[in-house]
Structure 1
């Protein structure tokens, strides 16, 4: 894990004049969780194995990319170091909690993911958004690459873009500001192309796609391009980094 210091973050749906939201210091995994790591988790926690997981916690496609071997369902050797996918929010959160961690919040994930290789905020760099959009436009690969294949960003975190989408702890709060009186004024059309006017950065189409994707999810969904990584509050993990 790497430590991310206190910082500010402005949610996409807020205007440029809106006050930024403070993100408290936290730590986050350098890379997404791999199939090998997830296999160790379900071996130690049988309730999350493909043949025993409760239907309320995952769709039938849970870990469908793994191979049936007798009575077992296991990743192939080629999949061991690639990111685990086809896992629900419930399963991802359970994995993180087994390590005394949690999923990162949307604000934490976006704060880290906004960094380029050289700057904490890469949004003003030429071609930054376009590189992300080019990845979004590509069809998902049947066999994903191993984690760690992309260069570390400013914080030393890898694969936030260019490999998979990732679960966040509060994925379904994309249209909620936390202020109940203000939530009714948030434009629900923001995630359509015609609804970007007044957003913090109308040109950041990649972020619009992420927020739109998150708002379409349900916690039991298992998708072939959706995985996760873990995070924790800094004070809880300083001795483990």
Structure 2
């Protein structure tokens, strides 16, 4: 409701989907998050939900922009996206060599990602939903205790951020969801409530990243460093920010 009202203020709540997307059903349940539900040790409770099986691609976001031109990079309100928004596209409504159709769309703000999901009668997933889905591998709902699984995710961090992104379509996990851990960072709905107060980010706190790193010491599942890095990354952003490797996927409540 908060997101819908925020976008409605700008007249940007969208009603009709641009493309037909594939959503997988996830059963939910009790889940040991790296962010305990009570700030100490309580498990998170995840309700059943549906999640896009793959991140939104450049081709899909281009179709969205053409259908809803207020989200073109030359028309979007500056309060909704920074100057880097879709800056790797050749034009406001063309992709080019730096943004291939089947690559995940990046350099999109939280506002833009939410608006896109609204166009699919969906929303961004919560952190707990995203973390729950990302804990699975091809055969297990929770593979986080496997050192090989963790090393595979950490290997992604060795790829230079300037390297060209692969196309979507990695190995599906047990829920049929792909590319959660090794392709792009992904926006979540509650990104600004994970670790750091919004006023700290808005004031340009020089100790922000130190706080994120130190805060991780008190979190559960500390061996899952890659997941903690995502929390630190998301906590450091504002809703209008865009980055070279920040994409998104959408979710729906059951």
State the TM-score, normalized to the length of structure 2.
Answer: 0.80
**Aligned positions of 1:106-185 closer than 5 A:** 106-148=127-169, 150-175=170-195
Distance 1:40 1:73, change over 3 A: closer
Question: C-alpha separation between the residues in 1 aligned to 2:80 and 2:218?
Answer: 37
**1:55 equivalent in structure 2:** 78
**2:29 equivalent in structure 1:** 7
Asked if residue 36 in structure 1 is aligned to residue 56 in structure 2, the reply is no
Distance 1:126 1:16, change over 3 A: farther
3-state secondary structure, aligned to 2:130: helix
Question: C-alpha separation between the residues in 1 aligned to 2:241 and 2:210?
Answer: 23
Q: Report 1 or 2 for greater relative contact order, CA contacts < 8 Å, sequence distance ≥ 6.
A: 1
Distance 1:82 1:197, change over 3 A: closer
Distance 1:211 1:225, change over 3 A: same
3-state secondary structure, aligned to 1:146: coil
Q: Which one of 209, 234, 246 corresponds to residue 214 of structure 1? A: 234
Task: Using the TM superposition, give the Cα deviation of residue 12 of structure 1 relative to its aligned residue in structure 2, in angstroms.
Answer: 1.4
Contact 1:32 1:83 (C-alpha < 8 Å) held by counterparts: yes
Figure out how many residues of one structure are paired with residues of the other and give that number: 218
Structure 1: state its 5+ residue gaps. 177-187, 235-241
Distance 1:11 1:173, change over 3 A: farther
Task: Using the TM superposition, give the Cα deviation of residue 117 of structure 1 relative to its aligned residue in structure 2, in angstroms.
Answer: 1.5
Q: Per-residue CA shift, 1:189-219, capped at 9, x if unaligned? A: 7732x55444311211111101111110100
Q: Name whichever of 196-205 and 7-16 sits farther off.
A: 7-16
**Aligned positions of 1:20-99 closer than 5 A:** 20-68=43-91, 72-76=92-96, 79-99=100-120
Contact 1:13 1:190 (C-alpha < 8 Å) held by counterparts: no
Distance 1:217 1:60, change over 3 A: same
Task: Using the TM superposition, give the Cα deviation of residue 141 of structure 1 relative to its aligned residue in structure 2, in angstroms.
Answer: 4.4
Distance 1:207 1:91, change over 3 A: same
Structure 2: state its 5+ residue gaps. 1-22, 197-208
Distance 1:199 1:75, change over 3 A: same
Question: C-alpha separation between the residues in 2 aligned to 1:48 and 1:18?
Answer: 41
Distance 1:124 1:57, change over 3 A: same
Question: C-alpha separation between the residues in 2 aligned to 1:24 and 1:110?
Answer: 13
Distance 1:81 1:200, change over 3 A: same
